[in-house]
Chains A and B, each alone.
Chain A
Amino acid sequence: MIPLLLATLLSISGSEPGAEAPGEPGGRGLAIKAAKALTVPLDGPQFVDNAVVLVRDGRIEAIGPTSEVAVPVGYDVLDVGDRWLAPGMVELHCHIAGTFDINDMVYLTNPGVRASTAVRPEDPKLMQGLAGGVTTVLFIPGSGTNIGGQGVLLKTGLDDYESMEVRNPGSMKLAQAGNPERWLIRPGRSFMNWNTRNTFQRGVAYAKRWKAAEENGGEAPRKNLQFEVIRSLYNREAQISTHTQIYQVANMTLTMVAKELGLPVFIDHGTFDAYRVAPRAKELGVSAILGPRAIDVPSPLMMMWAGTNPERIQGVAAGYQEGGLEMIGFNTDSPVIPQEELSLQASMGVRYGFRWDNLESIRGLTIVPAKTAGIDHLVGSLEPGKHADIIVVGGDPADPRNGVDMVFIEGERVYDAENGRRRW
């Protein structure tokens, strides 16, 4: 609980000081009524008009139109009027959840290094992101090396590490071009990819030895902290978040990491002309989490580098969509783009031609990144059983003129713009 919001919560619940607020674990039930709820499940209808969401013990109990979902006796009712509800946003490329020492570069591959050691709950920048509706982040190492280490999936807006942690390792960070080329002896892409493959192959062999020992009994292999994360990958309990951009590089992500090594991976950045890999990505089940500023522009210098048509201004999200990929999300690479401007990245995707007939602009901020990170059973949509991570917005969250008015995380109202401490 953020102390300065305590008064707010008490004013809703009317309970005694110290009692749990409605909706929170241990508290009474909470019913939130709104003109529209963008539910965005993976499949099926994407929104509900005149909606009510029942929240109990930090989870969504039920959601539907007020005509179909009755509010049980004893539930507090919060009617937000004309405003809309949406799931808390999920950001898979964040560097601001703590101190900035997340880019150790002693070695060129650092699978054992963990970003979780740098987490600082209630980091001011993270709180700004929270006020922009971001409730879950993948806090990842930088791209100073090919394997930067392990990211951690966190809830924002909660006040201690234990309650923030959703999963550790949240991902393993891989960088295939650009920044790691500046490492010490200035490796080129051929050397970097050899080094990366070598590390992964050893890690996979380690994971296989463990699996064999677990399945067939016998002596457990010696624990190797460097390769533990590759066990998580091999067992499909975590994904590789890949700093990859440009067609040539994204193609290596798909052919080398997804196909040859068979590890779960997603494209993270995917900018310039990388959208041309979309059909291959779809075939291999690889998501593309795009940004920041996902547009491929006709700059002659960049075109030499990326090899695209110099006459064409291409929206990158639109490019992936035209290539048939459905799993398209957005990121900020905060602080490159401020965390609170995550929703804006989806708006800019629309500006540059991304179709959103089925609320793809919202899905790319919620269910798509949740599914990509393997946490869609917990977050990413408003569905019964999931965490009550809910934002209250003045209208469509993909229109940035609509500020976020309230944010709930696991039923707890962690941000309320109307109560004196507005952060918009």
Chain B
Amino acid sequence: MIAGCPHETSVPISARAGGGAPWRRILRGALALGLAGPLAAAADTAPPSGGTFAIRASKALLCELDGRQAIDGALVLIDEGRIAAVEAEHDLELPEGTPVLDAGASWVMPGMIDLHSHVGGPRGYNDAVFQVNSGLRVSSTAIAGNARLRRPLAAGITTILYIPGSATNVGGQGVLLKTRPGSFEEILVRDPGSLKIAQGDNPKRWGYRMNRALMNHHIRTALRQGSAYAERWEAYEQGEAERPERRLHLDVYRDLRSEEIAISTHTQYFQVVLATLRILRMEFGFPTFIDHGSFDSWLLGGVAERIGVPAILGPREVMWPTNPGRFPVDGRAEGCAWGFQQQGVSLIGFNTDAPVLPQEELPLQSAMGVRYGFDNSRMGAVRGLTIVPATVCGVGDDLGSLEAGKVADLVVLTGDPSDPRTSVQWVWVEGELVYEQAAGERPW
């Protein structure tokens, strides 16, 4: 729950964890889970879902922000939608009668998170009547479990930040959603999930064609108004001023000011990212992340790290040396993830900009990062799909890693998720089984 967030539709994650959803019964039918000891992973045995159960896997990718990263021969204990324990098999004694899914040689990992998605609903997320639209909520266009979320779910992507398009400078408010089927309330993680700002390219096509100087002036004006509004509310809450008049289109800036949400910024070239860092973060002090960060923008990685701006990269994060008039190229291809890493950025994640790249190809973006030089020796390719995006959008306490107490969004898959030949076998969201490869006719 966002403290001080005026939106009444926000539902705290804790209030929803473990809740029985009607679609679950449709998906799996009645589950016979009164078994003690391991369940075979055979097709005729229903895998566990809901309540208390455990998963045994040859490897668990934990992805803790600062702690353990992986355990071989792991057991994950799930209880009422949360992770109760993750340990090596010989270090964890399960409660008597706990159903265990033995995943054999497969691995288990946290559900993946994409912070740049436009497939949470069919359309209508790119209103361009005004150039600044801080009050628009993309949540009003979301359709839970829509057809375009089925494949990502089957690929282990359990949470998306569904955001407005980049047709205007301030496109509106994104919403954090689970990809599983259900009602809107059931899949809602947080609304607003972010404020979407776009600084280069697409918004230049608005109306009578903007240039960057005017666009950044508009952005600064909007942020100044929002900042002042949030300050007036802050003063009121501290008993230092009258209650301000409510301005719906500025409420989102209160969430930014209290650092409950961040600005997800469509920003891509050196020059544009510089404006992101200087205006959004240095001038106004809002939590901000780079979203795209392509071409030569990695050259600003050192500055970004110093002022606490993470980088969520994609789609196709490589700069080819084919446009020397536009970028300072020296004949080399530069992997953007490699570049940000070279510059010392600690939080590097990946996005798809779905449907620009299919939502289900999120793990592939990290694989391509590795292909183009990103050092994966400390599991950066997996962290960039899990704990990094979770931390960047402020849900790191609940999502993004396998740790006791966190929400049980889990994926069992045949190997390393950053190898795209790996396929996903089972997905659980909040402890509920939402995808099973072997069920029905889905030879994925």
A-side residues, CB < 8 A to B, are 4, 124-125, 128, 131, 293, 297-300, 309, 311-315, 318, 338, 344, 347-348, 350-353, 361, 398-403, 420-424
Contacts and interface: CB of A to CB of B under 8 A. Distances in A.
Contact of B372 (A313, A338, A424): A424
B147 to A, nearest CB: 6
Given A128-B333, A298-B147, A347-B420, 7 more contacts: A312-B443, A344-B364, A348-B364, A398-B421, A400-B420, A401-B381, A422-B332
Contacts of A403: 371-373
Nearest to B335: A424
Q: In the A-B complex, list the 9 residue pairs whose CB atoms are closest, starting with the nearest.
A: A124-B322, A350-B421, A401-B370, A423-B333, A353-B443, A312-B441, A421-B331, A347-B420, A424-B372
A295 to B, nearest CB: 8
A401 B443 contact: no
Interface stretch (B24-32, B184-192, B313-321, B339-347): B313-321
A352 B147 CA distance: 18
A353 B423 CA distance: 8
Nearest to A422: B332
Contacts of A124: 320-322
A422 B367 CA distance: 18
Nearest to A314: B443
B374 to A, nearest CB: 9
A402 B331 CA distance: 21
B72 interface: no
Nearest to A310: B147
Nearest to B369: A401
Interface of B: 147, 150-151, 154, 316, 318, 320-322, 331-333, 335, 358, 364, 367-368, 370-373, 376, 381, 418-423, 440-444
24 contacts: A4-B331, A128-B320, A128-B322, A297-B151, A298-B147, A300-B147, A311-B441, A311-B442, A312-B440, A313-B151, A313-B154, A314-B443, A318-B443, A347-B421, A350-B421, A352-B444, A353-B423, A398-B421, A399-B419, A400-B371, A401-B376, A401-B418, A423-B333, A424-B372
Contacts of B420: 344, 347-348, 351, 400
Contacts of A297: 151
B367 A401 contact: yes
B364 A315 contact: no
Contacts of B442: 311-313
Contacts of B367: 400-401
A332 B368 CA distance: 16
A398 B420 CA distance: 9
Contact of A402 (B316, B322, B335, B371): B371
Contacts of B320: 124, 128, 423
B443 A315 contact: yes
Contacts of B331: 4, 420-421
Given A300-B147, A423-B321, A424-B318, A351 B333 contact: no
A338 B322 CA distance: 14
B360 to A, nearest CB: 9
B314 to A, nearest CB: 14
Contacts of A309: 441
Most buried by B among A131, A313, A353: A313
Contacts of B316: 338
A124 to B, nearest CB: 4
A151 B41 CA distance: 50
A311 B440 contact: yes
A424 B154 CA distance: 30
A401 B373 CA distance: 9
B332 A313 contact: no
Contact of B322 (A125, A313, A352, A353): A125
Nearest to B321: A423
A373 B38 CA distance: 52
Contacts of B422: 351
Nearest to A322: B443
A350 B376 CA distance: 22
Contacts of B333: 128, 131, 422-424
Nearest to B323: A124
A297 B274 CA distance: 41
B154 A400 contact: no
Contacts of A293: 358
B150 A298 contact: yes
Contacts of B322: 124-125, 128
A293 B359 CA distance: 13
Contact of B373 (A4, A347, A361, A424): A424
Contacts of B151: 297, 313
B443 A399 contact: no
A124 B320 CA distance: 9
Contacts of B443: 312-315, 318, 352-353
A296 B147 CA distance: 13
A68 to B, nearest CB: 31
A423 B322 CA distance: 11
A353 B437 CA distance: 11
Contacts of A299: 147
